[in-house]
Protein backbone atom coordinates (compact mmCIF):
# COMPACT_ATOMS: atom_id res chain seq x y z
CA UNK A 1 0.00 0.00 0.00
CA UNK A 2 2.84 2.42 0.90
CA UNK A 3 4.67 1.75 -2.34
CA UNK A 4 1.47 2.36 -4.31
CA UNK A 5 0.84 5.61 -2.46
CA UNK A 6 4.41 6.73 -3.06
CA UNK A 7 4.11 5.91 -6.74
CA UNK A 8 0.91 7.92 -7.11
CA UNK A 9 2.36 10.88 -5.26
CA UNK A 10 5.42 10.85 -7.51
CA UNK A 11 3.17 10.56 -10.52
CA UNK A 12 1.17 13.59 -9.39
CA UNK A 13 4.31 15.58 -8.66
CA UNK A 14 5.71 14.87 -12.10
CA UNK A 15 2.51 16.14 -13.66
CA UNK A 16 2.54 19.59 -12.08
CA UNK A 17 5.86 21.02 -13.14
CA UNK A 18 4.21 23.35 -15.69
CA UNK A 19 1.39 25.82 -14.95
CA UNK A 20 -0.54 24.86 -18.10
CA UNK A 21 -0.36 21.16 -18.82
CA UNK A 22 -0.76 19.14 -22.00
CA UNK A 23 -3.59 16.62 -21.94
CA UNK A 24 -1.30 13.68 -21.22
CA UNK A 25 0.14 15.31 -18.12
CA UNK A 26 -3.32 16.41 -16.99
CA UNK A 27 -4.57 12.85 -17.30
CA UNK A 28 -1.75 11.63 -15.09
CA UNK A 29 -2.37 14.37 -12.58
CA UNK A 30 -6.09 13.64 -12.43
CA UNK A 31 -5.42 9.94 -11.97
CA UNK A 32 -3.82 10.83 -8.65
CA UNK A 33 -7.19 12.14 -7.47
CA UNK A 34 -9.21 9.21 -8.78
CA UNK A 35 -11.10 11.58 -11.06
CA UNK A 36 -11.40 11.62 -14.84
CA UNK A 37 -11.80 15.10 -16.30
CA UNK A 38 -10.48 17.42 -18.96
CA UNK A 39 -7.79 19.92 -18.04
CA UNK A 40 -5.79 20.53 -14.88
CA UNK A 41 -7.21 20.20 -11.37
CA UNK A 42 -6.95 23.01 -8.82
CA UNK A 43 -5.41 21.65 -5.63
CA UNK A 44 -6.83 23.46 -2.61
CA UNK A 45 -5.91 23.66 1.06
CA UNK A 46 -8.66 24.77 3.43
CA UNK A 47 -7.65 27.11 6.24
CA UNK A 48 -10.14 26.91 9.10
CA UNK A 49 -11.86 23.57 9.65
CA UNK A 50 -15.07 24.85 11.22
CA UNK A 51 -18.68 24.44 10.13
CA UNK A 52 -18.40 26.24 6.81
CA UNK A 53 -15.04 24.68 6.01
CA UNK A 54 -16.72 21.34 6.59
CA UNK A 55 -19.49 22.26 4.15
CA UNK A 56 -16.98 23.30 1.49
CA UNK A 57 -14.92 20.14 1.90
CA UNK A 58 -18.00 17.93 1.58
CA UNK A 59 -19.13 19.76 -1.56
CA UNK A 60 -15.68 19.50 -3.10
CA UNK A 61 -15.97 15.73 -3.12
CA UNK A 62 -18.26 16.19 -6.14
CA UNK A 63 -16.01 18.66 -7.95
CA UNK A 64 -14.49 17.83 -11.34
CA UNK A 65 -11.89 20.58 -11.44
CA UNK A 66 -10.99 21.24 -7.78
CA UNK A 67 -9.78 18.87 -5.08
CA UNK A 68 -8.98 19.18 -1.40
CA UNK A 69 -5.28 18.41 -0.94
CA UNK A 70 -4.21 20.32 2.18
CA UNK A 71 -5.34 21.41 5.65
CA UNK A 72 -4.51 24.38 7.88
CA UNK A 73 -5.89 24.47 11.43
CA UNK A 74 -4.94 25.33 14.96
CA UNK A 75 -6.70 22.22 16.27
CA UNK A 76 -4.62 19.02 15.85
CA UNK A 77 -7.62 16.74 16.49
CA UNK A 78 -9.52 18.32 13.60
CA UNK A 79 -6.58 17.78 11.29
CA UNK A 80 -6.41 14.10 12.26
CA UNK A 81 -10.13 13.62 11.64
CA UNK A 82 -9.99 15.38 8.29
CA UNK A 83 -6.89 13.47 7.24
CA UNK A 84 -8.71 10.21 7.74
CA UNK A 85 -11.88 11.40 6.03
CA UNK A 86 -10.29 13.03 2.98
CA UNK A 87 -7.06 11.06 2.69
CA UNK A 88 -4.78 14.07 3.18
CA UNK A 89 -1.08 13.21 3.67
CA UNK A 90 0.73 14.51 6.73
CA UNK A 91 3.08 16.61 4.60
CA UNK A 92 0.10 18.68 3.41
CA UNK A 93 -1.11 19.57 6.93
CA UNK A 94 -0.14 22.80 8.67
CA UNK A 95 -0.97 24.91 11.70
CA UNK A 96 -1.29 28.69 11.96
CA UNK A 97 2.36 29.07 12.88
CA UNK A 98 3.96 27.15 10.03
CA UNK A 99 1.65 27.39 7.02
CA UNK A 100 4.02 29.80 5.29
CA UNK A 101 5.84 26.58 4.36
CA UNK A 102 3.18 25.89 1.73
CA UNK A 103 5.45 27.84 -0.61
CA UNK A 104 7.54 24.68 -0.93
CA UNK A 105 4.57 22.32 -1.41
CA UNK A 106 3.70 21.55 -5.06
CA UNK A 107 0.54 19.70 -3.94
CA UNK A 108 -1.17 23.01 -3.10
CA UNK A 109 -2.13 25.63 -5.71
CA UNK A 110 -4.54 27.71 -3.65
CA UNK A 111 -5.69 28.22 -0.07
CA UNK A 112 -9.33 28.86 0.85
CA UNK A 113 -9.28 31.10 3.94
CA UNK A 114 -12.37 30.28 6.05
CA UNK A 115 -11.47 31.85 9.39
CA UNK A 116 -13.27 34.59 11.37
CA UNK A 117 -13.50 37.85 9.41
CA UNK A 118 -10.78 39.74 11.27
CA UNK A 119 -8.26 36.98 10.46
CA UNK A 120 -8.84 37.03 6.69
CA UNK A 121 -6.33 39.78 5.98
CA UNK A 122 -3.39 38.05 7.67
CA UNK A 123 -4.27 34.72 6.08
CA UNK A 124 -4.46 36.13 2.56
CA UNK A 125 -1.28 38.19 2.94
CA UNK A 126 0.68 35.15 4.09
CA UNK A 127 -0.78 32.92 1.37
CA UNK A 128 0.16 35.50 -1.26
CA UNK A 129 3.67 35.81 0.18
CA UNK A 130 3.98 32.04 -0.18
CA UNK A 131 3.16 32.37 -3.88
CA UNK A 132 -0.20 30.59 -3.71
CA UNK A 133 -3.56 31.78 -5.02
CA UNK A 134 -6.00 32.90 -2.33
CA UNK A 135 -9.72 32.22 -2.05
CA UNK A 136 -11.21 34.15 0.86
CA UNK A 137 -14.60 33.76 2.46
CA UNK A 138 -16.76 36.88 2.56
CA UNK A 139 -16.69 39.50 3.85
CA UNK A 140 -13.16 39.64 2.52
CA UNK A 141 -12.09 41.74 5.49
CA UNK A 142 -13.52 44.00 8.19
CA UNK A 143 -13.20 47.25 6.20
CA UNK A 144 -12.35 48.51 2.73
CA UNK A 145 -8.86 49.69 3.66
CA UNK A 146 -7.78 46.21 4.72
CA UNK A 147 -9.52 44.72 1.70
CA UNK A 148 -7.54 46.91 -0.65
CA UNK A 149 -4.32 45.88 1.11
CA UNK A 150 -5.20 42.27 0.34
CA UNK A 151 -5.89 43.04 -3.32
CA UNK A 152 -2.60 44.94 -3.63
CA UNK A 153 -0.59 42.18 -1.95
CA UNK A 154 -1.97 39.49 -4.24
CA UNK A 155 -1.39 41.64 -7.32
CA UNK A 156 2.20 42.30 -6.24
CA UNK A 157 2.78 38.58 -5.63
CA UNK A 158 1.34 37.67 -9.03
CA UNK A 159 -1.39 35.45 -7.58
CA UNK A 160 -5.17 35.58 -7.90
CA UNK A 161 -7.49 36.63 -5.10
CA UNK A 162 -11.04 35.29 -5.31
CA UNK A 163 -13.85 35.64 -2.78
CA UNK A 164 -16.46 33.05 -1.82
CA UNK A 165 -19.45 34.62 -3.56
CA UNK A 166 -21.17 31.30 -4.18
CA UNK A 167 -24.39 32.98 -5.37
CA UNK A 168 -22.52 34.40 -8.36
CA UNK A 169 -22.57 30.90 -9.85
CA UNK A 170 -26.07 29.83 -8.77
CA UNK A 171 -28.17 28.94 -11.87
CA UNK A 172 -31.46 30.61 -10.95
CA UNK A 173 -29.62 33.78 -9.96
CA UNK A 174 -27.72 33.77 -13.24
CA UNK A 175 -30.96 33.28 -15.18
CA UNK A 176 -32.35 36.49 -13.67
CA UNK A 177 -29.14 38.33 -14.51
CA UNK A 178 -29.38 37.04 -18.09
CA UNK A 179 -32.99 38.19 -18.40
CA UNK A 180 -32.11 41.62 -17.06
CA UNK A 181 -29.11 41.95 -19.39
CA UNK A 182 -31.35 41.09 -22.34
CA UNK A 183 -33.87 43.73 -21.35
CA UNK A 184 -36.67 41.34 -20.44
CA UNK A 185 -37.59 43.35 -17.32
CA UNK A 186 -37.22 46.70 -19.06
CA UNK A 187 -35.80 49.60 -17.09
CA UNK A 188 -34.97 48.46 -13.55
CA UNK A 189 -36.82 50.53 -10.97
CA UNK A 190 -36.49 48.86 -7.57
CA UNK A 191 -34.67 46.16 -5.63
CA UNK A 192 -35.54 44.77 -2.22
CA UNK A 193 -33.17 42.56 -0.24
CA UNK A 194 -34.11 40.92 3.05
CA UNK A 195 -31.31 39.09 4.84
CA UNK A 196 -31.63 37.87 8.39
CA UNK A 197 -32.13 35.21 11.04
CA UNK A 198 -32.20 34.94 14.83
CA UNK A 199 -28.66 34.20 15.93
CA UNK A 200 -28.09 31.74 18.76
CA UNK A 201 -25.10 31.30 21.08
CA UNK A 202 -24.17 34.79 22.38
CA UNK A 203 -20.57 33.63 22.94
CA UNK A 204 -19.86 32.77 19.29
CA UNK A 205 -17.26 34.72 17.34
CA UNK A 206 -19.89 36.32 15.07
CA UNK A 207 -21.01 38.41 18.05
CA UNK A 208 -17.45 39.39 18.96
CA UNK A 209 -16.61 42.73 17.35
CA UNK A 210 -12.89 42.05 17.42
CA UNK A 211 -13.30 38.89 15.34
CA UNK A 212 -16.36 39.72 13.24
CA UNK A 213 -15.77 43.40 12.54
CA UNK A 214 -19.41 44.13 13.27
CA UNK A 215 -22.60 42.14 13.54
CA UNK A 216 -25.36 41.03 11.19
CA UNK A 217 -24.23 43.32 8.36
CA UNK A 218 -20.86 41.57 8.07
CA UNK A 219 -22.37 38.10 8.15
CA UNK A 220 -25.77 38.16 6.45
CA UNK A 221 -26.40 41.76 5.39
CA UNK A 222 -23.57 41.57 2.89
CA UNK A 223 -25.82 39.32 0.77
CA UNK A 224 -28.26 42.17 0.22
CA UNK A 225 -25.44 44.66 -0.36
CA UNK A 226 -23.89 42.43 -3.00
CA UNK A 227 -27.24 41.25 -4.35
CA UNK A 228 -28.43 44.80 -4.97
CA UNK A 229 -25.41 45.30 -7.20
CA UNK A 230 -25.66 42.14 -9.31
CA UNK A 231 -29.46 42.15 -9.52
CA UNK A 232 -29.68 45.76 -10.75
CA UNK A 233 -26.43 45.58 -12.74
CA UNK A 234 -25.35 48.97 -11.37
CA UNK A 235 -23.11 50.42 -8.70
CA UNK A 236 -24.83 52.58 -6.08
CA UNK A 237 -24.12 56.32 -5.86
CA UNK A 238 -25.37 56.85 -2.32
CA UNK A 239 -26.54 55.02 0.78
CA UNK A 240 -28.60 55.88 3.83
CA UNK A 241 -29.06 53.61 6.85
CA UNK A 242 -30.76 53.30 10.24
CA UNK A 243 -29.81 50.94 13.05
CA UNK A 244 -32.21 49.36 15.54
CA UNK A 245 -30.98 47.57 18.66
CA UNK A 246 -33.43 45.87 21.03
CA UNK A 247 -30.95 43.73 22.98
CA UNK A 248 -27.80 45.70 23.90
CA UNK A 249 -26.60 42.88 26.13
CA UNK A 250 -26.40 40.32 23.34
CA UNK A 251 -25.51 42.90 20.70
CA UNK A 252 -22.82 44.95 22.37
CA UNK A 253 -21.29 48.20 21.15
CA UNK A 254 -20.09 47.78 17.59
CA UNK A 255 -22.14 44.63 16.98
CA UNK A 256 -25.16 45.57 14.88
CA UNK A 257 -28.44 43.73 15.47
CA UNK A 258 -30.69 45.21 12.77
CA UNK A 259 -29.91 47.76 10.04
CA UNK A 260 -32.25 49.04 7.36
CA UNK A 261 -30.43 50.63 4.45
CA UNK A 262 -31.31 52.26 1.17
CA UNK A 263 -29.24 52.78 -1.97
CA UNK A 264 -29.62 54.89 -5.09
CA UNK A 265 -28.26 54.01 -8.53
CA UNK A 266 -27.27 56.14 -11.56
CA UNK A 267 -30.32 55.04 -13.58
CA UNK A 268 -32.67 56.28 -10.86
CA UNK A 269 -33.34 52.78 -9.49
CA UNK A 270 -33.47 52.49 -5.71
CA UNK A 271 -32.92 49.64 -3.25
CA UNK A 272 -34.44 49.03 0.17
CA UNK A 273 -32.76 46.37 2.29
CA UNK A 274 -32.79 44.83 5.76
CA UNK A 275 -29.99 43.09 7.64
CA UNK A 276 -30.74 41.48 10.99
CA UNK A 277 -29.67 38.93 13.58
CA UNK A 278 -33.02 39.13 15.37
CA UNK A 279 -35.68 37.97 12.86
CA UNK A 280 -36.20 34.67 11.08
CA UNK A 281 -37.66 33.95 7.64
CA UNK A 282 -35.81 36.78 5.91
CA UNK A 283 -34.12 35.53 2.77
CA UNK A 284 -35.73 37.26 -0.20
CA UNK A 285 -34.67 39.30 -3.23
CA UNK A 286 -37.17 41.16 -5.40
CA UNK A 287 -36.35 43.06 -8.59
CA UNK A 288 -38.95 45.23 -10.27
CA UNK A 289 -38.74 46.67 -13.76
CA UNK A 290 -41.02 48.51 -16.15
CA UNK A 291 -41.80 45.30 -18.06
CA UNK A 292 -41.57 42.60 -15.42
CA UNK A 293 -40.16 41.35 -12.16
CA UNK A 294 -38.03 38.63 -10.57
CA UNK A 295 -38.17 37.13 -7.10
CA UNK A 296 -35.90 34.71 -5.26
CA UNK A 297 -37.10 33.18 -1.98
CA UNK A 298 -34.97 31.72 -0.54
CA UNK A 299 -32.43 33.90 -2.29
CA UNK A 300 -29.08 33.16 -0.66
CA UNK A 301 -29.45 30.12 1.61
CA UNK A 302 -27.67 26.87 0.93
CA UNK A 303 -30.52 25.79 -1.27
CA UNK A 304 -32.42 24.89 -3.11
CA UNK A 305 -32.88 28.46 -4.30
CA UNK A 306 -36.41 29.06 -5.52
CA UNK A 307 -37.52 31.83 -7.81
CA UNK A 308 -40.01 33.14 -10.28
CA UNK A 309 -40.36 35.96 -12.76
CA UNK A 310 -43.30 37.49 -14.60
CA UNK A 311 -42.70 34.73 -17.17
CA UNK A 312 -43.02 31.86 -14.70
CA UNK A 313 -41.14 29.68 -12.24
CA UNK A 314 -37.36 29.25 -12.35
CA UNK A 315 -36.63 25.54 -12.59
CA UNK A 316 -32.87 25.03 -12.64
CA UNK A 317 -31.95 21.93 -10.59
CA UNK A 318 -30.12 22.35 -7.31
CA UNK A 319 -26.43 21.48 -7.07
CA UNK A 320 -24.44 22.26 -3.93
CA UNK A 321 -23.36 25.86 -4.36
CA UNK A 322 -19.83 25.20 -3.16
CA UNK A 323 -19.37 22.42 -5.72
CA UNK A 324 -20.21 24.77 -8.59
CA UNK A 325 -18.21 27.59 -6.99
CA UNK A 326 -15.01 25.61 -6.61
CA UNK A 327 -15.17 24.10 -10.10
CA UNK A 328 -15.76 27.54 -11.59
CA UNK A 329 -12.98 29.06 -9.51
CA UNK A 330 -10.64 26.36 -10.81
CA UNK A 331 -11.40 27.61 -14.30
CA UNK A 332 -10.80 31.22 -13.27
CA UNK A 333 -7.45 30.44 -11.64
CA UNK A 334 -6.11 27.86 -14.07
CA UNK A 335 -7.54 29.12 -17.36
CA UNK A 336 -8.41 32.78 -16.73
CA UNK A 337 -12.13 32.16 -17.29
CA UNK A 338 -14.32 35.22 -16.83
CA UNK A 339 -17.40 34.66 -14.65
CA UNK A 340 -20.70 36.36 -15.48
CA UNK A 341 -20.56 38.14 -12.10
CA UNK A 342 -17.04 38.93 -10.81
CA UNK A 343 -15.70 37.14 -7.74
CA UNK A 344 -12.33 38.85 -7.50
CA UNK A 345 -10.91 40.93 -4.68
CA UNK A 346 -11.84 44.18 -6.39
CA UNK A 347 -15.49 43.09 -6.33
CA UNK A 348 -15.23 42.42 -2.60
CA UNK A 349 -13.63 45.81 -1.88
CA UNK A 350 -16.70 47.49 -3.41
CA UNK A 351 -18.95 45.66 -0.95
CA UNK A 352 -16.69 46.73 1.91
CA UNK A 353 -16.78 50.37 0.77
CA UNK A 354 -20.59 50.19 0.87
CA UNK A 355 -20.63 48.51 4.29
CA UNK A 356 -18.23 51.14 5.66
CA UNK A 357 -20.63 53.79 4.36
CA UNK A 358 -23.66 52.02 5.88
CA UNK A 359 -22.02 52.05 9.31
CA UNK A 360 -21.12 55.72 8.87
CA UNK A 361 -24.68 56.54 7.82
CA UNK A 362 -25.97 54.83 10.96
CA UNK A 363 -23.51 56.77 13.08
CA UNK A 364 -24.19 60.19 11.58
CA UNK A 365 -27.75 59.91 10.32
CA UNK A 366 -26.57 61.38 7.02
CA UNK A 367 -26.62 60.12 3.43
CA UNK A 368 -23.21 58.89 2.32
CA UNK A 369 -22.00 59.47 -1.23
CA UNK A 370 -20.35 56.49 -2.94
CA UNK A 371 -17.80 56.29 -5.74
CA UNK A 372 -17.14 52.71 -6.80
Listed in sequence order, the DSSP H helices in the chain are: 2-14, 23-32, 51-60, 76-86, 120-129, 144-157, 171-181, 209-212, 216, 222-232, 321-335, 345-364
CA distances from residue 48 to 28, 106, 120 in whole angstroms, order as listed: 30, 21, 10
Q: 138, 160, 165, 359: which is the annotated catalytic residue?
A: 138
Alpha-carbon gap, residue 161 to 344, rounded angstroms: 6
Catalytic (active site) residue 250? no
What are residue 43's DSSP bridge partners?
A: 67
Q: How many CA atoms lie within 13 A of 56 on its CB side?
A: 29
Q: How many CA atoms lie within 13 A of 234 on its CB side?
A: 20
Q: How far is the first Cα of the chain from the last one, in angstroms, to the nearest whole number?
A: 56
Catalytic (active site) residue 293? no
Of residues 304, 297, 275, the one with CA closest to residue 199:
275
What are residue 188's DSSP bridge partners?
A: 289
Q: 223, 230, 277, 359: which is the annotated catalytic residue?
A: 223
- Indicate which residues carry an active-site annotation: 138, 223
Amino acid sequence: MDSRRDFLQKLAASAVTLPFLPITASAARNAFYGQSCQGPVLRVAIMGLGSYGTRVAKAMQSCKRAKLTGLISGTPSKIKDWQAKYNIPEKNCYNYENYDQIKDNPDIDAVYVITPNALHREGVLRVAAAGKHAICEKPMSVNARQGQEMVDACRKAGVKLLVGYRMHFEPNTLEIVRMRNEGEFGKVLFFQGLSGFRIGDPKQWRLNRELAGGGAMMDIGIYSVNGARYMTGEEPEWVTAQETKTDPVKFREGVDETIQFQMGFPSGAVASCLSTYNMNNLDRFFLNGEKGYAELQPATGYGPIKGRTNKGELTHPHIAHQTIQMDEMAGIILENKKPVIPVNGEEAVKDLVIIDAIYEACRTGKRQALSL
